[in-house]
């Protein structure tokens, strides 16, 4: 069989000059010589290169950048590309790996964002009552101090009850408790009423067992949820943001 291959190779070499050299190259590299030639060194062989004289660099917004080419060997306009899909072309993007979903500025870098910081203060009530007690007032005084120090702070007062009694009655009682706390906070005219909201959830959100007196006492409460928006700048990364 080897003798036959040699005979056929010699016959073809006689018919097509230079085929013998091509055959040796093909066996060594798996490519014909014309498939190895890349005059402009752009990674696309000359035989497939529609733009065979591509420069190594190109000016983009007045700055030299390495030229990227498509499968045909022709230059790709970086301003038409947006690798991180943030709406800013790669040639103008100073933060090219921005995580998906982040809002960016004209430079392609993440804009400062705001997140809520939540604090919780509990105010307890006696059974079937919405009256404030001296220990409750101390909690609300601290809350009012926060509202005065942080003008960007808002608060939602959430009233709750235990499970004794009709649910409609408990919801009305929880609203009365929340409104009572709101009224106390707004007794200071420096606090804008729009910053303090009051809602009642009745018996729907227990934090303890309603089958025990100790548990029912814990459920008779008003919770103050403070929403303090603080500003932060996300890192420029393609990884997912922490919760």
* pLDDT, tens only, 204-226: 999 899 999 999 988 888 888 87
**For the chain, counts of helices (H) and of strands (E):** 6, 6
Identify the sign of the CA torsion 188, 194, 195, 199.
positive
pLDDT at position 65 over 60: yes
On whether residue 88 sits in a domain, the answer given is no
> pLDDT at position 8, please?
44
207 and 225 share a domain? yes
On whether residue 31 sits in a domain, the answer given is yes
63 and 119 share a domain? no
52 and 136 share a domain? no
147 and 54 share a domain? no
137 and 163 share a domain? yes
> Of the given ranges (19-33, 73-87, 115-129), which has the lowest mean pLDDT?
19-33
Question: In sequence order, what DSSP letters do the residues of 23-76 get, joined into one string?
Answer: HHHHHHHSS-HHHH--TT-SSS-GGG-SSTT--SEEEETTEEEEPPB-TTSPBP
Band (6; pLDDT cuts 50, 70, 90): very low
136 and 66 share a domain? no
On whether residue 137 sits in a domain, the answer given is yes
On whether residue 87 sits in a domain, the answer given is no
On whether residue 100 sits in a domain, the answer given is no
* Nearest-angstrom CA–CA distance, 221 and 123: 5
7 and 56 share a domain? no
Structurally, the chain folds into a number of domains equal to: 3
70 and 132 share a domain? no
141 and 222 share a domain? yes
Q: Is the separation of the CB atoms in 87 and 95 below 8 Å?
A: no
H runs (alpha helix) in 40-165: 134-149
On whether residue 94 sits in a domain, the answer given is no
> Of the given ranges (31-35, 147-151, 177-181), which has the lowest mean pLDDT?
31-35
Residue 69 sits in which domain range?
46-76
135 and 187 share a domain? yes
130 and 185 share a domain? yes
Q: What is the pLDDT of residues 66-90, one digit of tens each?
A: 777 887 878 777 777 787 888 888 8
On whether residue 221 sits in a domain, the answer given is yes
119 and 228 share a domain? yes
> pLDDT at position 229, please?
60
């Amino acid at each position: 069989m080897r003798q036959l291959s040699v005979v056929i190779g010699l016959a073809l070499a006689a018919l097509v000059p230079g085929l013998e050299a091509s055959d040796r190259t093909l066996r060594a590299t798996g490519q014909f010589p014309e498939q190895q030639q890349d005059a402009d060194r752009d990674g696309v062989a000359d035989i497939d290169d529609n733009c065979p004289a591509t420069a190594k660099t190109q000016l983009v917004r007045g700055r030299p950048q390495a030229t990227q080419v498509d499968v045909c060997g022709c230059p790709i306009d970086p301003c038409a590309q947006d690798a991180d899909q943030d709406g800013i072309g790669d040639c103008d993007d100073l933060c090219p790996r921005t995580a998906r979903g982040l809002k960016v500025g004209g430079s392609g870098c993440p804009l400062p964002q705001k997140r809520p910081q939540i604090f919780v203060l509990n105010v307890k009530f006696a059974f079937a009552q919405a009256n404030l007690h001296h220990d409750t007032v101390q909690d609300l005084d601290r809350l009012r101090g926060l509202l005065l120090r942080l003008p960007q702070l808002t608060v939602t007062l959430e009233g709750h009850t235990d499970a004794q009694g009709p649910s409609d009655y408990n919801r009305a009682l929880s609203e009365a408790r929340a409104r009572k706390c709101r009224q106390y906070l707004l007794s200071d005219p420096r606090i804008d009423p729009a910053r303090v909201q009051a809602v009642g959830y009745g018996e729907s959100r227990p934090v303890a067992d309603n089958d025990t007196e100790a548990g029912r006492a814990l459920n008779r409460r008003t919770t103050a949820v403070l929403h303090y928006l603080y500003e932060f700048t996300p890192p420029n990364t393609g990884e997912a943001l922490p919760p």
